[in-house]
Every structure is written in structure tokens, then in C-alpha cells.
Amino acid sequence: MDEGNNFEYTDDEEQGNDSEVALENAYYNSKGLRETDLQEAADEFEKVIIQEREELASKNEDGGGSKKYGPWSFKCIKQLVKLQLRIGSTDSVLSVYSRLLECIDEGNVSPNAVEKGINGMLERLALAVYDSTLRVFHPSTGSCPNDRLWFKTNLKYGQLLYETNEATKLQQVLFDLQTTQEYQSNNDTTTAATHSSSSTQSLEIFALQMQLYSRQKDSKKLRQVFNKAMVVRGGIPHPRTIATIQELGGKMHMQAKEYEAAGKTFFQAFKSYDEAGDQSRLRCLKYLVLASMLHASSINPFDSQEARPYRDDPEIAAMTNLVQAFQNNEIHKFERILQQNKTRIMEDEFIREHVEDLLRTIRTQVLRQVVKPYTKISLEAIAKELNNIPVGDVENLLVGLILDGSLDGQIDQVTGVLLKKAERGGGGNNETSAAGTTSSDLVALKFEAMSQIASALEDIAISTANGRMSEGNNSGMRGMVH
């Protein structure tokens, strides 16, 4: 024993440490060969697996356990899967991946290492490996049950099925996820932790469901799931999960022309993506701007503290200019910006779907201003003010305003003229004459003129009466003198 410390090491402990160090060195030496010789690296990894198995076998004989694989074998088989991926042999990849699952089932590997390793593999491997992986980790029927890993693997599988557009398989995955999650929620002891976990899983399932229903354009189911997601409390999902739900909810509101609700939902999605550090925040910011304009809101979305830093971003600059032109009713500038930034703005399919609605909104706003001073105006004159759009488009806009009660008038299709009734009442709704005087001003002027005439007539009447009285008095005086 050393005089400098009070620790003693037995021969068994020293031997165990030496074998652990030998396995570690062998693993990293094998790993270093990956860049020079793939086959040699694979052979060396196999030697490490054999070496650890022999170490475990000797421990088993001494009553130390019955495991066939250890943590270094798990790491080596992971590397073998990656090597086969680089070589490009699909059959070999699946064969080695099956060994990895066997290693998990029959080996001494920590749950954290298993979860990290499997998640890393699933990001690299094709759909073929998911079924076998899910069988191993199934909560009730798997050979190595793992609730958390099974759920996360199924989510990854579902996302991959969504990306490859395999709707039937995705629906089955969603059914399995919901059934298992509901069963566990009903049978677990209710604690704050289990409630939070259940809420988080519910939101993750809802996000995947909404992606499917959005693609299928099933608005009814999409709204049902969105409403369910909005009342979930207590979960701690990844901000990207929340952002996905909110973005798809915003699109749902847009399709229903619920522009105010869409703007609010897109703003929440933008904040969630921003919190996650996801570049999708710029996409949602564009959608927020679009909804704001379609709602004809006077509030500039870039005035918010969260959105202000992005107003000069190259991806957003075109939308910023579009908002300014929209709010100023500068239709020529608005359409010019759309044309100049056609690729940047129109490359997004969702924005492209709503550009016609956007043009209709700004044209309607400008049309209201154009016809406001007149009781009679030609459709051609209106078309000219609306950047020379076809007269037929002008007629459609006017019909829409007349039908919804925003405009009191009728269209004379023979002469191509709008005949509008004069608006009555105070404020700024009075019709304006060519000289710029409102109808209420004209009434006031007429009233004042009539008052002046009445006053003048009254003065004349008084003057005449006074004259007659003066003549009568004079004649009386003359009689008395005589």
C-alpha cells in the first residue's frame, strides 16, 4: 500500500481496469482506420467484439452475469452499420443492424446509450429497419420493452412516412401511437410528471396528424385536431412541435378566410420557430404579413418587438415593401413589387395560392376610394385607376361590394357606368362635387342665402311701413295748421 493514500487495489480490480483500457484502446484504434481502409477497420471492430465477448464469458464463469455483449460491442456494431452505409450494400446494412438489435436485447448496454444510438441509426437508415426496431422495443410485446424509445421511434417512422407520402401506413402508425398513449395515460399513476409526459406525447401526435390532414385537405379533421391541441395543458414539447401545430392552424384559418385568426396564429408559430432557432420563422413571418394584408389591417406586423429585427432580412425585404405599398393603397407600386420579386415571393406555394385574394383586397380598397366622390363614373375610368385591369374584373369587384352591402349602387352594363346613390349623413361620407364642395356644405350655403334673403325682405317691409306712418303724420299736421 502506498504511504500517500489509504486505497488498496486487488488483483481482480486491476485486471478489470486493464481489460477495460485495452478494449477502449482497441476501439479507438479501429475507429482511426475508417479514413484509410474500410475493410481493415471493419475487421478490427469485429476483433474488439470478440475480445469483449471473451471477457464477458470469463466473468460469466465466475458468476458475474450472462450477457453476450457489452458497451464496446454496441459501439463497434454501430460503427459497422455506418461502414456498410458508406460501402453502399443495403443487405449488409440490414444484417449488421439486426446484430445491433440483438446486442441491445442480449447485452449489457445502458438505456441512455441505447436511445442515443438507435436515434442516430434511424436518421441514417431506410424504412426497412423501423419494423424490426419497433418490435424489439414495443412496450408490451417487445423482447426489450422501452416505452419512451418505442414512442420516439414510431414518431420518427411516422414523419418519414409523411415525407414519402405513404398515407395508409402513416394512419396505422398514428393509430398505434394514440392507442398506446391512451392506455398508458389511463393506467399510470397520476402524477405531475406522468401528466406532463402524456400532454407532451399528445401534442407530438397532434402535430403529425395535422400534417397528414393538411396534405389531404381534410379541413374538418384538421380543425378538430387543432382545437384539441389548443386546450392541452401541462406538456413541455419541443418548440418546433408547437410551431408546426400553429403554422398548420394558421393555414387552416387562411383557407377559411379567417384572416384575423390566421394572423394571430402565424405570429405564435413565428415566435415558436424563433425560440427553436429554426429558419422556418422567416416563412411564418411571410405568412403573418400575408394574413395581415388580407385582413386589411392597419397594424404593421413589423412593429412588434419580435418581428422588427427581421424587417431588413433579404428574405423579408420584399414583403416589407409590399406591406408599405398596401397600407398606402399604392396599387401601381404594389403590383410592381410583386412583379420584380416574383421568384422570391411566388416560389412559396402557399403564398402563391393567396396572391389573387391579396390583389383583390388591395384593388377593392383602392376602388372604394376611387368611386367615393362620384354618383356616376365609368367602369373604364375605374379600371385605369386600378392599374389598367380588365373592365370585367372591375365589374366583378363592384358586384361583390354591392352584394355585401358595402356599396349602394347599380351597374349600367349597356353604357358601362356605375350609378351610385349619394351617401347621406354627416362625417366624411358626403358626396363631393367637381369643385370639391361636399353636399352638406351646399345645403348650408343655400340655408345661409335663404336667411339673408328673408332678412332683406323683412328690412324692406319695415322700411315701407315706417314710410307710410310718416306720410300719415304729415297730413295730420297740415290739417291742424289750416
Evaluate the CA torsion angle 41, 45, 51, 54 in order and state its sign: negative
Q: Is 443 part of any domain?
A: no
CA distances from 40 to 35, 36, 44, 79, 82 (A): 10, 9, 6, 13, 14
pLDDT at 116: 83
pLDDT at 63: 58
* CATH number of the domain to which 360 belongs: 1.25.40.570
Using DSSP bridges, classify how beta strands 409-412 and 376-378 pair: parallel, antiparallel or unpaired.
unpaired
- What residues does 78 pair with on adjacent strands? none
CA-CA distance, 118 to 105, in Å (whole number)? 13
Q: Is 333 part of any domain?
A: yes
Residue given cell 466473468 in the structure block = 59
Please check whether residue 174 is in contact with residue 204, taking contact to mean a CB–CB distance below 8 angstroms. no
pLDDT at 439: 43
Lookup: cell for 234: 401541462
pLDDT at 360: 87
Over residues 417-464, the pLDDT tens digits come to 999 876 654 444 444 433 333 444 444 444 454 455 445 555 555 555
Instruction: Give the 3-state secondary structure of residue 107.
Output: strand
Q: Is 155 part of any domain?
A: no
Examine the fold and report which residue of 343, 371, 399 is the final residue of a domain before the chain moves on.
371
Are 414 and 365 part of one and the same domain? no
Lookup: cell for 305: 418587438
* CATH number of the domain to which 393 belongs: 1.10.10.10
Long-range contacts formed by 375-383: CB under 8 A, 24+ apart: 375/419, 375/420, 375/421, 375/422, 375/431, 376/417, 376/418, 376/419, 376/420, 377/417, 377/418, 377/420, 378/415, 378/416, 378/417, 378/418, 379/411, 379/416, 379/417, 379/418, 380/416, 382/418
Q: Is 311 part of any domain?
A: yes
As a whole number of Å, the end-to-end CA separation of the chain is 169
pLDDT at 465: 53
Are 335 and 401 part of one and the same domain? no
CA distances from 119 to 92, 100, 113, 207 (A): 20, 13, 10, 20
Are 258 and 362 part of one and the same domain? yes
Are 408 and 324 part of one and the same domain? no
Q: Is 258 part of any domain?
A: yes
Q: Is 366 part of any domain?
A: yes
Over residues 53-110, the pLDDT tens digits come to 888 887 766 555 567 888 999 999 999 988 887 776 667 888 888 888 888 888 778 8
Lookup: cell for 437: 364642395
Are 380 and 411 part of one and the same domain? yes
* Total domains present in the chain: 2
Range of the domain at 367: 241-371
Residue given cell 434511424 in the structure block = 122
Angle at 386 between CA 383 and CA 391, to 5 degrees: 25
CA-CA distance, 206 to 226, in Å (whole number)? 8
CA-CA distance, 377 to 312, in Å (whole number)? 41
Q: Is 248 part of any domain?
A: yes
Residues of the chain short of pLDDT 70, as ranges, are 1-16, 60-66, 88-90, 123-128, 187-195, 422-482
Are 345 and 413 part of one and the same domain? no
Examine the fold and report which residue of 408, 423, 438 is the final residue of a domain before the chain moves on.
423
Are 409 and 338 part of one and the same domain? no
CA-CA distance, 56 to 64, in Å (whole number)? 8
Are 354 and 340 part of one and the same domain? yes
Are 283 and 400 part of one and the same domain? no
Examine the fold and report which residue of 398, 423, 448 is the final residue of a domain before the chain moves on.
423
Q: Hey, how many other C-beta atoms are within 10 angstroms of the C-beta on 55?
A: 19
* Among 374, 373, 370, 402, CA closest to 384: 370
Are 325 and 403 part of one and the same domain? no
Please check whether residue 191 is in contact with residue 142, taking contact to mean a CB–CB distance below 8 angstroms. no
* Among 104, 32, 117, CA closest to 78: 117
pLDDT at 4: 47
pLDDT at 195: 64
pLDDT at 296: 78
CA-CA distance, 189 to 95, in Å (whole number)? 40
Are 264 and 301 part of one and the same domain? yes
Residue type, 429: N
Q: Hey, how many other C-beta atoms are within 10 angstroms of the C-beta on 226?
A: 22
Please check whether residue 126 is in contact with residue 176, taking contact to mean a CB–CB distance below 8 angstroms. no
Please check whether residue 105 is in contact with residue 135, taking contact to mean a CB–CB distance below 8 angstroms. no
Q: Is 350 part of any domain?
A: yes
* Among 73, 58, 62, CA closest to 23: 73
Are 245 and 367 part of one and the same domain? yes
Q: Hey, how many other C-beta atoms are within 10 angstroms of the C-beta on 469?
A: 10
